[in-house]
Amino acid sequence: MADRFRITLGQLNPTVGDLAGNAALALDAWQAGKDAGANLVALPEMFITGYNAQDLVMKRAFQLDVMAHIEKLAADCADGPPLAIGAPWAEGTELFNAYLILKNGKIASRMLKHNLPNETVFDEVRIFDSGPLGGPYAVGNTRIGSPICEDAWHPDVSETLAETGAEFLLVPNGSPYYRDKMDTRMNVMVARVVETGLPLIYLNMVGGQDDQIFDGASFALNPGGKLAMQLPAFDAITTNVDLERTPDGWRVVEQAFAKYPDSYEADYRVCMLGLRDYMRKTGFKKVLLGLSGGIDSAIVATIAADAIGPENVRCVMLPSEYTSQASLDDAEAVANALGCRYDYVPISEGRAAITNTLTPLFAGTDEGLTEENIQSRLRGLLLMALSNKFGEMLLTTGNKSEVAVGYATIYGDMSGGYNPIKDMYKTRVFETCRWRNENHRDWMMGPAGTMIPETIITKPPTAELRDDQKDSDSLPDYPDLDAMLDILVDQDGSIEDCVAAGFDRATAKKVEHLIYISEYKRFQSAPGPRLTKGAFWLDRRYPIVNRWRDPS
């Protein structure tokens, strides 16, 4: 009986719907495994379709196309090690989230996901049928159990596999990032190892899909929960992990551990990778954004430069008579530090034309928010014109605090195709700017050093839509606002929870009111990378028409 078992792991980045491209990635990984003498080549959950494919997998024509690509892949991999790959799989009227073992030119075994996640960003109960509890599959004389992602977050599947003869667990995942999730993953997988007494290999995909970013960081645990292997976070990598047979069963051969980044670095890389993959997978090569001299557009410009290179980023200053010289200087300083193109497009003539057009209709009314928003919408119009003319995707730059309370102009500064900081509160933006100024990594395409001047970080936030305007004129100070938003949005808490945390009841009720009445804006807003379990879109789903308010 063999005393060594090698698995080639493909911690790779599939694209939703690109069946041929994903199959090509799978074939490359399989070839690498064949060349390395692997006994098995393994890929993540739902790899052939990309994940999370949502309702696309319910389309019958798509299911048939998946089957055709799987059959061809099985044929292409017939003369080497088995290939384990995730796929949706239809049987009769049922549709399963499956893990298929391709061997000798055919599907030799299949695992069907039993526990279907139905929370946060997942709706698998709506899409898939639950598979039965099953046993392990054989690769040569070795029996392997593969709980599929969520199946490993519950004890029943792993225990059944252990009881029916599995010698180790190989867990394929499509597990998206949220802050500090790695600790949760590790704790849950250690529990499975302790319960079953079996080694466990956790294989996760990498890459961005709309708002969800998969962070990889695949790892292996030996009995007792001892870490034996950890792959780099966010990097696509094909590598080998070996197991040795001992008198006590299989054990993963230890190898070097990659360190998981801290939360600031991880968040920043999620924002950057989310943008990079969104562009790559939709076909955009360049971006533009309005660079106001404020902190939000400064960090977005920096993220963009790091994601796709400064030469592919256009920064546009669109000043009005309310734009301060400090803002002009700060915006140009950011663009110059990054090495991005910098365009100067005053809006005064366009604004005067719009004002003159509307004067007969606005006669007898006072100037106010409407006139302020005309400036923002004119900027949106000009930026979209540049986007259309040059094929550059417009980035929107509103932070989570603004998105939460609607402190943004729909069809104005909310215009754009992607928002890299959509799930980052304002206070976190300040801290992230300082982190980026002090840190540079080899995965950043922008230059090292201070990209965001201290003057941007320290000046009072302002939209500069009227004389001497400050964000604090309309909103609580951001540390207080963000703390209340964390309670009301991320923790799904109440007004009483805000009061218990030391906040004024009337202020908390105002913030809650702003959250609810801004739902229609968020419904029309650009997607952005998910950093928390309280992200706007799939994590938090509320009706637009909603008269309920917390009565406390």
Is the Cβ–Cβ distance between 498 and 508 less than 8 Å?
yes
237 beta partners: 11
β 142-145/168-173 pair status = parallel
Kindly give the interhelix angle for 19-35 and 60-76, rounded to the nearest 10 degrees: 20
Is the Cβ–Cβ distance between 528 and 421 less than 8 Å?
yes
Contacts of 507 (CB under 8 A, 6+ apart): 476, 480, 484
136 beta partners: none
User: Residue 280 has which token pair?
Assistant: 């790559």
**Angstrom distance (rounded) from CA 199 to CA 362:** 73
Catalytic residue list: 45, 113, 149
Fill in the DSSP letter of residue 397: -
**Angstrom distance (rounded) from CA 160 to CA 341:** 59
The helix or strand, by DSSP H or E, that contains position 375, with its residue range, turns out to be helix 369-390
**Angstrom distance (rounded) from CA 235 to CA 195:** 31
Count of beta carbons in the 10 Å neighbourhood of residue 542: 12
The helix or strand, by DSSP H or E, that contains position 308, with its residue range, turns out to be helix 295-308
Question: Within 13 Å, how many C-alpha atoms sit on residue 7's CB side?
Answer: 29
Q: Among residues 426, 414, 453, which one has the least CA distance to residue 298?
A: 453
Residue ranges of the alpha helices (H) in 391-504? 400-405, 426-438, 454-458, 478-485, 495-500
**Angstrom distance (rounded) from CA 210 to CA 530:** 9
Fill in the DSSP letter of residue 29: H
